[in-house]
Chain A
Amino acid sequence: MNNEKQTISKEEAAATLESVDLTKRDAIQSFRIPLILITLISLSYSLIVFSWGMTEHDNLWALGMYIGSASFGIFAAFSLYTFRLLGIKINILPRSKERIKSELVSLLIFAVILIFGRQFRVYEGFEYAPHIAALISGGYLAYLLYKYPTGEYLVGNQK
């Protein structure tokens, strides 16, 4: 059966690729986790970034980091469980080259925000740096979770 062959026109090929894109796009949109979970995950991550920026030795903000990390882990695990209940198992580790590239870029962005949020306060004396870093990283994470709930970055097939 695998060896059955046929021919198609350029127009048919374009229409087929468009339908594949549409199917993936619809699926990604319908596979989205509840907004409340997206908000809780993002807020937990913001708490980690903010606490890291404010931590001085073992002051109270160190506790904020621990609480943020624990709640982030719990909410992330709960979102995976929610996916499973919905009948979806997502790829946690990236498979495609596009996803690896995109995740490395995102990782770099998160790392830069995390480091600069603290460095600007400690060395430059800019007190609101952790606030801004927490806001940006939380917002960016919420955007990624909303736009790419399965972690797959949809690249248009037709170019």
Chain B
Amino acid sequence: MNKATFDTVIHAPNRLQICALLDSTKELEFQIIREQLDVSDSVLSKHLKVLEDANYVQLIKKTEFTRQRTWVSLTSKGRKSFKLHLGELKRIIG
């Protein structure tokens, strides 16, 4: 069995999905990510906090049309780490 080491911050299923979603776009609103992942607000907040603490994502709160929106984006460090993580997974598969 091939073994390899990698970053567990990204590898958790929900966080990996969050990174995959954000990698396809520039920014996504909190609600869109929640709908895509089909999780509760609190669960998503918890995962985003972990990613934010690792400096992998950036959260920006904006008021647009009298509505508070939270935009989430991958930082350059997060994008790089996500790519490295996928590269590591591909390497394991061979």
Measuring CB to CB, which residues of chain A are less than 8 angstroms from any residue of chain B? Answer: 1-2, 4-10, 13-14, 16-17, 19-20, 23-24, 26-28, 30-31, 86-92, 95, 150, 152, 157-159
Task: Tell me, yes or no, whether B92 is within 8 Å of chain A by CB.
Answer: yes
- CB distance A91 to B25 under 8 Å? yes
B residues 68-94 touching A (CB-CB < 8 Å): 69, 71, 73, 79, 81, 86, 89-90, 92-94
Residue in B21, B86, B89 with the greatest tally of chain A CB atoms within 10 Å: B89
Enumerate chain A residues within 8 angstroms of B25, measured Cβ to Cβ: 27, 31, 88-91, 150, 152
Residue of B nearest to A30 (CB): B36
- CB distance A4 to B9 under 8 Å? yes
A102 to chain B: closest CB distance in Å? 14
Task: Tell me, yes or no, whether B7 is within 8 Å of chain A by CB.
Answer: yes
B81 to chain A: closest CB distance in Å? 8
- CB distance A19 to B16 under 8 Å? yes
- CB distance A89 to B69 under 8 Å? no
Determine the interface band of chain B, counting residues with CB < 8 A from chain A: 35 or more
Enumerate chain B residues within 8 angstroms of A150, measured Cβ to Cβ: 24-25
Do A86 and B5 contact each other (CB < 8 Å), given the known contacts A20-B20, A27-B24, A150-B25?
Answer: no
Residue of B nearest to A91 (CB): B26
Instruction: Give the docked Cα–Cα distance between A92 and B92 (Å).
Output: 33
Do A17 and B8 contact each other (CB < 8 Å), given the known contacts A9-B1, A158-B93?
Answer: no
Instruction: Give the docked Cα–Cα distance between A90 and B17 (Å).
Output: 17
- CB distance B6 to A6 under 8 Å? yes
- CB distance B86 to A20 under 8 Å? yes
Residue of B nearest to A154 (CB): B24
Instruction: Give the docked Cα–Cα distance between A58 and B6 (Å).
Output: 64
Known: A8-B11, A13-B93. 4 other contacts (CB 8 A): A6-B6, A10-B1, A27-B20, A88-B25
Residue of B5, B9, B92 touching A10 (CB-CB under 8 A): B92
Do A16 and B4 contact each other (CB < 8 Å), given the known contacts A1-B54, A31-B25, A152-B24?
Answer: no
